[in-house]
A and B are shown apart, each in its own frame.
Chain A
Amino acid sequence: MGILDIFRRKKFSNVIQRIFGKKHAKIGIYGPPNVGKTTLANRILRDWTGDVMGSVSEIPHETRRAKWKTNIKIDNGGSSLMMDLVDTPGISTKIDFKEFMNTFGLTKEESRIRAKEATEGVIESIRWLEDIDGVVLVMDATQDPFTQVNVTIIGNLEARNLPILIAANKIDSENASPATLKSAFPQHPVVPISALTGYNTEKLYSKMVKRFGKKGSKRRR
């Protein structure tokens, strides 16, 4: 196949993609540490592939390297979304190794190693932003959502014109308040879920197919 043919095919596929929507999207699961990103990634994988993404822990920064699975197909009635799913380390502006020692009982050495790896994880998460088509931004519905990390991630994605879907996680907790989260970010769709129990994840999948399944959906609010 000549270069011209490849070019023509690429152009042709771009035109088809523009008309009929994006068939294969790279979706990043983003958010601050300990909001349940890996729990959600595991839930999605279990529901659609029977696989798991990674281990979860109450200690922040359990995921310190981005992990991904390819070719996950989510069905929603007559439509579907084929995606590569990237589970990213939690983004934070600070990492204090003493917190791992004092709050979670890790040794000094374990804490230092975890903190060092966590800083590298944050950098990796930020770099992945360059290479994704859409984001499921996971927030803890029991916490104040208006943190600078959430605001920064959303601002960054808006500037790149990438579609965002907010998963208001931990809705099974007594003090969860998804309404607070919705009012904090009214410009983006918010789906209250429990990644742990699976509550309302069907709605999340339906929104994911609608939000990420079409290239033209990037600006849809």
Chain B
Amino acid sequence: MIKKEPGVSFNLVSRHKLSNLSSDEKLNYILKEVKDGRILVLEHGLTSSEQTTLIEHTMKEIDHDTFIGIEMGGYGEEKTSFVQRVFGLIKKPRMTVIGPAHLLKMVHKSNDMIETTIIHGKGAK
């Protein structure tokens, strides 16, 4: 067993890992990790529908002493061309960072940059 060092824990989650999960499994995985105090950087983020469901699940999980919610930032979904839409290709979500709100703070977000800060001293359990 690897002994955990104190500090902030970041998990960089591959597109492959999430693509093998159903939407529900994906959201459960994300919420569990975030509740455990980890910041996740998803190579392929969530669709807007999944993000809305994640917010809904987060609200149900808020425990005002231990978990106040999430902070989330991602780039907009990739635009698809008319031809791609004709062939049934849908918009693809792009890289997204998600973490516990007591630990991760979104400073600024634009189309090209997501700026965050880590609140010191509150890393993963």
Chain A interface residues (CB < 8 Å from chain B): 91-97, 112, 115-116, 119-120, 122-123, 126-127, 129, 144, 146-149, 151-156, 158-159
Within 8 A of A (CB), among B45-86: 47-49, 51-52, 55-56, 58-60, 62, 64, 68-74, 76-77
The answer, yes or no, to whether B109 is at the interface (CB within 8 Å) is yes
Closest 8 CB pairs of A and B: A155-B48, A94-B69, A94-B101, A119-B59, A96-B68, A152-B51, A156-B48, A97-B64
Tally of A-B residue pairs with Cβ under 8 A? 85
Q: Closest chain A residue to B59 by CB distance? A: A119
CB-CB < 8 A to A92: which residues of B? 55, 69
Main secondary structure of the interface of B (DSSP, over half): mixed
**Complex Cα–Cα for A156 and B77 (A):** 11
The answer, yes or no, to whether B108 is at the interface (CB within 8 Å) is yes
Main secondary structure of the interface of A (DSSP, over half): helix
With contact pairs A93-B71, A94-B69 given, residues A148 and B109 touching in the complex (Cβ less than 8 Å) = yes
Chain B interface residues (CB < 8 Å from chain A): 47-49, 51-52, 55-56, 58-60, 62, 64, 68-74, 76-77, 101-102, 106, 108-111
A93 touches which of B47, B101, B111 (Cβ 8 Å): B101
- B52–A94 CB distance below 8 A: no
CB-CB < 8 A to B111: which residues of A? 146
CB-CB < 8 A to B77: which residues of A? 155
Cβ distance B35 to chain A, nearest Cβ, rounded Å: 13
- A147–B109 CB distance below 8 A: yes
Q: Closest chain B residue to A147 by CB distance? A: B109
CB-CB < 8 A to B59: which residues of A? 95, 119-120, 122-123
